[in-house]
Structure 1
Amino acid sequence: MTHGPRTSYIHRLRSPGRPRIWLEVLLTAVSYWTYSLIRNAVPEQRAAALRNADWVWRTEHALGIAVEQSINHTMNSVTWLIVTMNYYYATLHFIMTIGVLIWLFRSHPGRYAAARLALFATTSVALVGYYLFPLAPPRLMNGGHFVDTVLVHHTWGSMASGDLKNMSNQYAAMPSMHIGWSLWCGLIIFALAATPWVKVLGLLYPATTLLVIVSTANHFWLDAVGGVLCLSFGVALSYGWYAALPYRLPRLPGSPGPRVAAAGDRVGRRPAAAPSGPSG
């Protein structure tokens, strides 16, 4: 008994093809809408979230890493810097993530599907964390003495502060998708950018995001660890499906099997044609 057609169909599914823009726009919009709907529908469980925040804070003290309060107060004392961080927190994770998706779509279509799967899987598994471990951010802790920088400086920003707080789940801080998404962006930029200084900026982006989420009292250090674990799951799932990390897949669909991206693999540069020879 042969399974040829079925095997061929599964093989096609697992072979990255050229993405279609209308499908990708629709898929991204529906996925983010679904993520936001489910995230905000998770019961806020205020009492449990505050208890968990106290536990995280005690754990960080025991580990000797509970310096978020000092960072929050220090950054808050420099008005222009903390205001910039407020806007960074509110906007850049959307701008950068969408920007990297567009860049992959246009310049690395053969790697797009695998990278997108890693991102979507990362985001999906984060919902499990929000449901199982409701967590108050540091700025909402009882007696935490953290500064809610959006409220203090009256900046437009976090959906979890000010006039917008009723539109978002206040207690979905673990894991931090600011870290999950920014690390996804940073690693892709580092792996695929042809220019060294762009690679460096790719690594600086998640590092800066980590400083911002702590400075604005929106997350603990351990929330960032949760984001890294979610991304690890997403990358593992993508690897299991495509049998390669995104950067090891061909830049163009239909090119020969997995390979390491070369520094000369620049935007718009096509691989050299194979030398012609006798057939058969």
Structure 2
Amino acid sequence: MGDVTVTSSEGREKAVPPSVTAASRRVRRPRRPRLWFEILLIAVSYWTYSLIRNAVPEQKSEALRNADWIWRMEHHLGIAVEESVNHTVNSVTWLIVGMNYYYATLHFVVTLGVLVWLYRSHPGRYAATRLVLFATTAVALVGYYLYPLAPPRLMTGGDFIDTVVVHETWGSMASGDLKNMSNQYAAMPSMHIGWSLWCGLTIFALARLPWVRILGLLYPAATLVVIVSTANHFWLDAVGGMLCLAFGYVVAWTVYGALPHRLPRFPTGSTPENPENPAPRQSPDPRLDSPAEAQRPV
């Protein structure tokens, strides 16, 4: 088969080697994920993410100045209600304690649960959807480095309540005895929002049952209420998380040529009944089923 030709901006035709177009097709073709590789990849990726996030210098003075600026900006926009929400929810002990545990656990549990569900039920879409999550997290690391930000509970000029400290609940790596193990001044963007919105949109796009799809959308909404009520983030931190997720979808679309939910549910050649073993490939031209014919130039 001859080279593929493309026309340059000057009108001249250039030959594109078949190996280049074939490589592009191979990258975009959904494949069945391998369990051992995915477990290793997720473990190494999260370890690397934590290492880099916590290695970002804790620029306390700059982070506090940025927090003051965010707080003034939200007052200017008329959306500075975080302090009122924080105090109101904190007055209901059972509710704020539940939110503290929500903040500490569901961030990981639900995200891993969605990855497992994708792996089992949507293997053809798994790699692209995972890429969205990884690209979202990677660009968030850039935000932590370029824009250190103190969470509301650490602001010097505010009257926010650190609900984990007050109620002595477990799980916050940024409060109490565990605060030295995590960078406390990496609040922008909020990956609680980035990850929960990734989960919610994935569930909404791929789940079949209407009530499951609704729950998918309620999850990031509930997470937004939690991060504000516990004084871990400003509203604008959530906007930063959404922008990071949008970047993740652009990366996946660029690599795969489509949004993840538009890809086939099962990899090419596999079947829902037996996704591990590919079905015999059917050639569009019956002559190519013959070895002699397959070697002829097309």
C-alpha distance 79-269 of structure 1, shift in aligned 2 (>3 A): farther
- Shift of residue 157, structure 1, vs aligned partner: 1.8
1:80-117: per-residue Cα shift (whole Å, max 9, x none)?
00000000000001000000000000000000010000
The residue aligned with 1:56 is 70
The answer as to 2:235 corresponding to 1:228 is no
- Shift of residue 4, structure 1, vs aligned partner: 1.6
Partner Cα distance (1:6, 1:227) in 2 = 35
SS in 2 for 1:40: helix
Runs of 4+ residues deviating >3 angstroms:
267-270, 277-280
C-alpha distance 47-179 of structure 1, shift in aligned 2 (>3 A): same
The residue aligned with 1:173 is 187
- Shift of residue 5, structure 1, vs aligned partner: 2.5
The residue aligned with 1:194 is 208
The residue aligned with 2:27 is 13
The residue aligned with 1:262 is none
Instruction: Report if aligned partners of 1:109, 1:253 keep a CA contact under 8 Å in 2.
Output: yes
Partner amino acid for 1:171? Y
% identical aligned pairs? 73
Instruction: Report if aligned partners of 2:27, 2:255 keep a CA contact under 8 Å in 1.
Output: no
| 1:98 paired residue among 102, 108, 112 | 112
Instruction: Report if aligned partners of 1:115, 1:246 keep a CA contact under 8 Å in 2.
Output: yes
C-alpha distance 244-255 of structure 1, shift in aligned 2 (>3 A): farther
Instruction: Report if aligned partners of 2:136, 2:245 keep a CA contact under 8 Å in 1.
Output: yes
Partner Cα distance (1:16, 1:37) in 2 = 31
Partner amino acid for 1:164? L
- Shift of residue 7, structure 1, vs aligned partner: 2.5
Instruction: Report if aligned partners of 1:151, 1:162 keep a CA contact under 8 Å in 2.
Output: yes
1:107-161: per-residue Cα shift (whole Å, max 9, x none)?
0000001000000000000001000100000000002100000000000021000
The residue aligned with 1:147 is 161
- Shift of residue 279, structure 1, vs aligned partner: 4.5
The residue aligned with 2:290 is none
1:104-253 correspondence to structure 2 within 5 Å: 104-253=118-267
Aligned length: 265
- Shift of residue 9, structure 1, vs aligned partner: 2.4
Scaled by the length of structure 1, what TM-score is found? 0.91
Partner amino acid for 1:56? I
The residue aligned with 1:263 is none
Partner Cα distance (1:126, 1:246) in 2 = 21
The residue aligned with 1:259 is none
- Shift of residue 15, structure 1, vs aligned partner: 1.2
- Shift of residue 225, structure 1, vs aligned partner: 0.1
- Shift of residue 10, structure 1, vs aligned partner: 2.8
Please, which runs of 5 or more residues in structure 2 have no aligned partner?
A: 4-16, 276-283, 288-298
Bigger mean CA offset, 246-255 vs 190-199: 246-255
Partner amino acid for 1:131? Y
Greater gyration radius: 2
Partner amino acid for 2:20? R
The residue aligned with 2:291 is none
Partner amino acid for 1:86? N
The residue aligned with 2:13 is none
Instruction: Report if aligned partners of 1:107, 1:268 keep a CA contact under 8 Å in 2.
Output: no
Q: CA RMSD in A?
A: 1.9
Scaled by the length of structure 2, what TM-score is found? 0.86
